[in-house]
């Protein structure tokens, strides 16, 4: 049994440091690197790409809305064409750094509000999927499990990865609990580990609405900017190892392992 563990990375900006990429990269199999719109800058992008190649983790682009002040977590009214152009632009920026450093891009995972918008809005989902396909049809598109983004990716012919979250709670419709609520985040490592183990073994997750929902998990996300991220991922790796579950990235090239 295999699972991919991914984390959002490269989210520092200028003099501001966010996350603990260097230590986290020792425990995950894939990383999603910010592309300068919601977080990150050219210096951070190059440094993070170099670290990912050094640690032998799969590299993905993490494009977001142009909202540095809100860290890309505030919904914006954007047209289909704007979404398409935002995705192409940001993938291209990171892809250039990856190529310059001698690596290869593996996947694309939209960030924050854009990710949540694409989960429910097929027009936005299709714009993202089309942008990824046009840039490189071999890239894997990461999306919320059971979302419209995953469906749009499949329809256009992309390989998709259904993503579940260790450190977020769910609603009855399969969406993530809005961060404005006090119960949106899981702050206890044991609870986070129990949630992902159940997702992997049973394909289910509990919700704040008190019901169970089906969850398909190809990849599990840990938010790199979370205060408990390193503790969570260490606990997860230990538990998964004990249960015989192998942590491995969803590489484009078959047979390539971390």
Domain ranges of the chain: 2-247
pLDDT band at 258 (very low <50, low <70, confident <90, very high): very low
Residues 31-59 have a mean pLDDT of 98
Query: Over the range 130-164, which residues count as b (16 or more CB within 10 Å of their CB) and which as e?
Result: bbbbebeeebbbbbbbbbbbbbbbeebebebbbbb
pLDDT of residue 74: 95
State the Cα–Cα distance between residues 91 and 89, nearest whole angstrom.
6
Overall average pLDDT of the 99-119 stretch: 97
Give the integer Cα–Cα distance in Å for 68 and 169: 25
The pLDDT-based confidence of 59 (bands split at 50, 70, 90) is very high
Q: What is the mean pLDDT of residues 217-221?
A: 95
User: What is the pLDDT, as a whole number, of residue 254?
Assistant: 39
| Listed residue (156, 158, 157, 171) closest to 116, CA to CA | 171
pLDDT at 113: 96
Residues 6+ apart with CB under 8 A from 123: 80
Stated pTM of the model: 0.93
Exposure on the CB side of residue 244, measured as CA atoms within 13 A: 2
Mean pLDDT score, 19-48: 96
Mean pLDDT of 33-37: 98
CATH topology of domain 2-247: TIM Barrel (3.20.20)
Please give the Cα distance from 237 to 239 (Å, whole number): 6
pLDDT at residue 224 tops 90: no
Mean pLDDT score, 74-92? 97
Q: What is the mean pLDDT of residues 170-180?
A: 91
Q: What is the pLDDT of residue 141?
A: 98
Average pLDDT over residues 22-26: 94
Average pLDDT, the chain: 93
Q: For 128-134, what is the mean pLDDT?
A: 98
For 133-155, how does the pLDDT look when each residue is reduced to its tens digit (9 = 90+)?
Answer: 999 999 999 999 999 999 999 99
């Amino acid at each position: 049994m295999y699972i991919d563990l991914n984390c959002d990375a490269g989210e520092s900006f200028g003099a501001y440091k966010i996350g603990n990429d260097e230590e986290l990269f020792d425990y995950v199999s894939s990383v999603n690197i910010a592309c300068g719109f919601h977080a990150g800058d050219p210096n951070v992008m190059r440094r993070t790409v170099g670290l990912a190649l050094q640690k032998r983790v799969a590299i993905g682009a993490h494009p977001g809305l142009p909202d540095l002040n809100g860290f890309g977590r505030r919904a914006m009214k954007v047209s289909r064409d704007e979404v398409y152009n935002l995705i192409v632009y940001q993938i291209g920026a990171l892809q250039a750094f990856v190529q310059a450093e001698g690596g290869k891009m593996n996947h694309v995972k939209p960030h924050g509000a854009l990710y949540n918008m694409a989960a429910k809005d097929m027009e936005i989902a299709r714009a993202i999927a089309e942008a990824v396909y046009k840039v490189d049809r071999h890239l894997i598109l990461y999306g919320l499990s059971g979302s419209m983004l995953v469906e749009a990716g499949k329809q256009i012919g992309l390989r998709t990865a259904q993503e579940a979250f260790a450190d977020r709670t769910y609603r009855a419709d399969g969406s993530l609990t809005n961060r404005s609520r006090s119960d949106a985040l899981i702050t206890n490592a044991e609870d986070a580990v129990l949630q992902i183990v159940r997702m992997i073994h049973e394909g289910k997750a509990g919700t704040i609405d008190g019901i169970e929902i089906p969850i398909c998990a190809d990849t599990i996300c840990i938010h790199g900017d979370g205060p408990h991220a390193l503790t969570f991922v260490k606990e997860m790796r230990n538990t998964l190892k004990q249960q015989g579950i192998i942590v491995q990235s969803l590489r484009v090239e078959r047979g390539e392992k971390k």
